[in-house]
């Protein structure tokens, strides 16, 4: 299922619009809206999604005009072996629905934080020393797990922006390696 750009998409878009550099990666491109912003500001942009329809749509439509993009249908970014200046994601962050309805666009595992944690793991293997991971975090996911991960791995977390919506509070978080 292709995720249509929504409040969370536009919220993280505002935060990344002025970032520039060489190598960027988006995990979970959906309609390609955010990847398009990266394509304007970065030399080489990789985008992944577990949903083939999203990759196909983005390639044929929203990202058609960009020739600095590399789109792959995969889990997180398994086939990509590269270190990036920036990794962004608006991951699925809701705790799995009790009726177990499968929807990869919104449900991020039992606590809602599982996909986010997999993305944060990339700091070891896919993030340059001075790189950053920017992601959407919701008050509806288990934020203790995310905070513990940051602490255990001695990462730096900065909240770039925070907004209260009717049913949740969203934060745009930036993770960097501590020595920077």
Ligand X SMILES: C[S@@+](CC[C@H](N)C(=O)[O-])C[C@H]1O[C@@H](n2cnc3c(N)ncnc32)[C@H](O)[C@@H]1O
CA distance 86 to 173: 13
Strand partners, 175: 133, 157
Which chain residues interact with ligand X by CB under 6 A?
A: 3, 5, 9, 27-31, 33-34, 48-51, 54, 75-76, 90-92, 104-105, 115
Looking at the Cβ atoms of 138 and 180, the one nearer to ligand X is 138
CB 41 → ligand X: shortest distance, Å?
A: 16
Looking at the Cβ atoms of 108 and 131, the one nearer to ligand X is 108
Burial of 67 (0-12, 13-18, 19+ CB in 10 A): exposed
Looking at the Cβ atoms of 58 and 143, the one nearer to ligand X is 58
CB 105 → ligand X: shortest distance, Å?
A: 4
Task: Determine contact, residues 168/138, Cβ cutoff 8 Å.
Answer: yes
CB 154 → ligand X: shortest distance, Å?
A: 25
Looking at the Cβ atoms of 118 and 128, the one nearer to ligand X is 118
């Amino acid at each position: 299922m292709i995720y249509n750009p929504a409040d969370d998409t536009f919220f993280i878009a505002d935060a990344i619009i002025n970032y520039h550099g060489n190598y960027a990666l988006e995990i979970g491109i959906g309609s390609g809206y955010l990847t398009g912003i990266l394509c304007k500001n970065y030399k080489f942009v990789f985008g992944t999604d577990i949903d083939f329809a999203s990759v196909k749509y983005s390639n044929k439509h929203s990202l058609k005009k960009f020739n600095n993009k590399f789109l792959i249908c995969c889990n997180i970014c398994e086939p990509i072996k590269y270190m990036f200046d920036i990794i962004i994601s608006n991951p699925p962050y809701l705790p799995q629905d009790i009726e177990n309805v499968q929807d990869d666009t919104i449900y991020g595992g039992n606590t809602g934080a599982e996909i986010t944690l997999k993305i944060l793991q990339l700091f070891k293997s896919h993030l340059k020393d001075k790189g950053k991971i920017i992601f959407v975090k919701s008050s509806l996911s288990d934020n203790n797990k995310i905070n513990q991960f940051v602490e255990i791995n001695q990462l730096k977390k900065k909240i770039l922006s925070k907004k209260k919506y009717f049913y949740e509070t969203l934060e745009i978080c930036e993770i960097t390696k501590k020595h920077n």
